[in-house]
Amino acid sequence: MASVNEIEQQQPLVSVITPTYNRPDYLKDALSSATRQTYQNIEIIVSDNCSLENPQAIVESFNDSRIRFSRNETNLGMLANTLKAFKMARGKYIACLLDDDMWEPDFLEKLVPPLEANPHVILAFCDHYIMDADGKIDTLGTETNSTFYKRTALQEGIYQPFCHLALVDSAVSTATAAVIRRDAIAWDTIPSEVGGSWDMYLNYLCCRSGAGAYYYPAKLTRYRSHENTDTNQSGSRNYQAKISKAKANIFCYEQFMADENLQELRSHFQQEWRQISTTLGIGLLRAKQPKQARPYFVRSLQKKISLRALIALLLSFTPLPIASRF
């Protein structure tokens, strides 16, 4: 029987990327799920973005030599910290484990072999659970999420090309439930403008490579939904987060629309661009910047009449206390 060291030598190294900031309890859960992987040959890169409470003690409590810890002297911003961790990776494959998410023990065991068996596949991905702030699985939320992102009926196998799957259906979650060939991505070329939409842009880079994607039809990770997630913050509760997220999305869709290889999807990208332009304008209204908001409503309406954009534009001419409540 092969020893653990012999098994690890036969397995390609996988780099687990965990950027973190001010989530010590969640971080401990995330790292526990990484260290419990049945796939053993991994390195876990924890990049702390100058948290108020240094999580080094939490990392050291695992007493696991596979964990590499780095702490920024100042806060670099979410994207810069994440890319820093990606660039520290040494593995043949790379997978992102955000500090508030978790993996099932066989996540890597299930997704690495399809990549090893198919050199023309750039990433392998799966479905995932939705859990609440306390770590309890939300059954209804999970199934709603799987259905909305078209994974419910998706068959196991290789999809090539997978542009529609990744950029229209958004079925591929590179930040939550995917393993990627590290050398297939030029990490230094990811522009700062992608901001919190870096996973969407990463999907784009993987698609434009011309390689395929492998889908494994099982829920092998857990996405934690809580009030401080980027998705929830960019909703109605935080207009600054809403503005930042919308600007990042607009940048991404403008890149997609300009790509000659994606012209068959251009109408979808244009529709998303219009909706997000309106969303950005609404965020600016809430920030009490009606003059800055109007051009986004106008350019959205120039492409297609939208009741939402039209009402927002009219509200931008009303007194600020009224407009900022939209």
Neighbours of 243 (CB within 10 A): 22
| Single-letter amino acid, residue 177 | A
CB 82 within 8 A of CB 45: no
pTM for the structure as a whole: 0.89
The pLDDT tens digits for 6-48 are 555 589 999 999 999 999 999 999 999 999 999 999 999 999 9
Which CATH superfamily does the domain covering 4-224 fall into? Spore Coat Polysaccharide Biosynthesis Protein SpsA; Chain A (3.90.550.10)
Check residue 234 and give its pLDDT.
Answer: 46
Q: What is the pLDDT of residues 76-90, one digit of tens each?
A: 999 999 999 999 999
Q: Which of 238, 230, 165, 234 is nearest to 203 (CA)?
A: 165
When pLDDT is averaged across residues 132-161 and rounded to a whole number, the result is 96
269-280 mean pLDDT: 93
List where CATH 3.90.550.10 sits in the chain. 4-224
For position 311, what pLDDT does the model report?
Answer: 81
Tokens of 243: 């503005």
